Structure 1
Amino acid sequence: MALKIVRGKSLPIGVDIGTTAVKMAQLRSTEEDIELLAAGAAIVPTYCREDLGDRLDTIAQNVRKILKTNAFRGREAILSLPAEATFVQHVKLPRMTPQEIPVALQVELQGKLPYPVEDAVIRFVIAGEAYGDGDPKQEIIAICTARHVLDRYLAMARKAKLDIVGVNVESCAVVECFARLFRRSSDTSRTILFIDLGAASTQVVLAHGPQIVFGHNLFYGQEVIDRAVADGMRITVEQAHAMRMDLIKGKNEGLAEDELYRLMNPTLDQLAGELTKCLRYYEAVFRNQPVERAIFVGGGAYDKRLCQMLAQRLNLPAQVGDPLVRIKRVEGAGLGIGLDRREPQPDWAVAVGLSLGAAA
């Protein structure tokens, strides 16, 4: 699933296509360090988010602008498909060789995808061994996308003058972002829950050290929380989002803050319930490797109080992930977009992970 890192050379540009923004990051591996060479971002306007054609045209324009205004080296890139363009399904298969798995998945996924399996591009990760009906089986994570959708994203990338050398999904990129921190052999016994709090969806990812063992898309993102606040306060969703952003930045603290989080409670209960279902599935498959902690990434992870509320519901120790930990920055990299290394930057996990080599 990973590209080989060539020491001393620039890695491909990671292109994270999110619901509300495009982020691009490029790293370099040297003998001693990993360095951030360049980073840039652009907002995807609300008016073009519903129509895929308009959205892709806008993204292509944004990518060209980011390339022009930042010191990226070359045009080789790893592209992530947004969550709404992918379908992740766990499948249990009898023991077989990796070469036999694609054919078995074609059969197993019939009727389970939102499009004909013949029209799907399917990749997979062998997560480990599972036990069903008393017989040992392989736990497979099938990662699917519609071929025509993939083709449109690749056409967008060509229009943006990118040379795509790999395509990935957000869940794999998040694990690869932090995999360098789990290189000891003993780390494979550590289970980390990554919760990627995006605008339109939440990615639930479990890893044994650097190895992904569970992935699931919850189409339950920060926009749902904004809507709950808006309904409770009888304001627009845009106003609710602005209030939340002000609180995250330390503005409007006090009574309004308590009221706002009170309005979030029912929605957070529902989200925690979905996360708990994911954990129960994992625990049924990997019975002797309990979850050690949760790491929050994505734009929603800037809301530390929200992360604490979710962690309490899951009864897990938790932290906000910093994708740039132990990464040096080449002078000027990311300064134009206010990339503050003094604080965690959790919404850069996917872009950084893509550049570090998590290619599907």
Structure 2
Amino acid sequence: MSQAKVPAWVTVGLLPAINVFVAFLVSAFLFMYIGVSPVEAAKTMWIGAFGYAEGFGYTLYYATGFIFTGLAVAVAFHANLFNIGGEGQAYVGGLGIGLVCLTLGEYAPWFITIPVALLAGGLFGAAWAFIPAYLQAKRGSHIVITTIMFNFIGSALMAYLLVNILKPDNTMAAESRVFAVSSWLPKMHEVLAVFGMQVSPSPLNISFIFALLCCVFVWLFIWHTRWGYAIRSIGSNATAASYAGISYVKVIVVTMLISGMLAGFFGLNVLQGELHQVKLGFVEGFGFTGIAVALMGRNHPIGILLASLLFGFLYQGGAELSFEYGIDRNIVVVLQGLVILFSGALEYMFKPSLERTYLKLFGSKKSSNNMDKSKEGAA
């Protein structure tokens, strides 16, 4: 069967939708097993995530974090690099943001503090990705091993700094003092209020807009620049790209620096936008979930945006479900696992049958149309 005969939207758009549908179908049996109506559970999750302004704000707030970590994984994937270190890079990027807010935020106005914090988050995240990138490019150390180990190193570093340096003397919690108000990111409901639109308060902040800009940046960079072409060439065939004059070492290092930078921006949403202080474990697995987001989104910014909205829906809708029915929050983790299973490990399970069905329904029509056109051209 020739893949060329099947349009791209079938595998890029329809196949992921089928995978997600099957994941929710299996989840329905799970809810029936625990004595909850699947229809009522789905309704509760939908209303909780999209049915009112505050819930929708929480959904977009969670989606913002997934956009950053998903883009980080996707950029590396285009160079055939499996960056599994988004968790650590987001953690260390948050450290850079926190240090700026804790120092500069005390003295400088917001229009200085916020851009410098953004720059620091990107630089710290990129720096944490540099050593694994160098080891991969120059020493042949596998990027999966080095990045996952750097997650543990980053976690230990943050624990040490929070407990021994950043923690105020008058508290036992492993967290820094609260940032100065001038370093807080404005909430979206505050921004909308300036334009006369009153919406319910939520953690959603202007880093969501920056996340959308990052999607545009990744799209332009990967598909419309020479560097992006070099990255995709290395990802497709590193040997052929090297023969063509593309530097493998430079591409690997630059790709991982950009990937780490995007993950480092995660702290903008959580630290500057919501917590307003550095806390132990503030990444909360978003770096690892970003891998699933990138896989579901086919490493394309639009797909990542849609996948981030899906996981934001699962987070917020799951919280509403837990509150409404008293269900353990781990059920939501199971739902996420099922989505990841069918969209990741089993993403191509339905591909052969889907292609056969499409060609059976539409392949003969297209063939006859092409024959008619060729006859008209001959006449």
TM-score under structure 2 length normalisation: 0.26
Structure of higher RCO (CA pairs closer than 8 Å, 6+ residues apart): 2
Q: Which has the larger radius of gyration?
A: 2
> As a proportion of its length, which structure holds more strand?
1
TM-score under structure 1 length normalisation: 0.27
> As a proportion of its length, which structure holds more helix?
2
